[in-house]
Amino acid sequence: SLLTLMRADRDMSPLQVLTSWEREMYKELDFRHEAENLKAVAANLRRANVEAIVPVPLEGLVGEKAFAMTYIEGFKVTDAEALAMHGVDREGLMCRIVEVYAQQLFVD
């Protein structure tokens, strides 16, 4: 990543920074890359025994400008009414969210 490059060599020229940024931006704008990231996140969470439902990119429907993935029925974690209606333990939910994000940020 750009941050890794900058930490490795603090003497990067502005042109080198922009070139690295440009390379990363093209990856971010390519939905094929996004679909691969989605698969990697799912695999990493499974390997770490973290239970989380992750959408799956649909084979044959992944392209540079768009991709389709499985639909997961649900509601937003910010929907207090739906959380209450379904008896969701908010503290437990928050712990799960933090666990999933921490796995992605600090381990994978």
Same domain for 88 and 44:
no
Same domain for 93 and 60:
no
Same domain for 91 and 63:
no
Instruction: State the pLDDT confidence band at 78, using cuts at 50, 70 and 90.
Output: very high
pLDDT score of 28: 79
**First-to-final CA distance of the chain:** 14
| CB of 41 closer than 8 Å to CB of 104 | yes
Same domain for 87 and 51:
no
Same domain for 35 and 23:
yes
Same domain for 41 and 19:
yes
Q: 3-state class of 58 per DSSP? A: strand
Same domain for 1 and 52:
yes
Same domain for 99 and 58:
no
Same domain for 102 and 50:
no
The residue assigned the tokens 């990067």 is 12
pLDDT at 38 over 90: yes
pLDDT in tens, 86-106: 999 999 999 988 988 888 888
Range of 59's domain? 1-71
Same domain for 56 and 93:
no
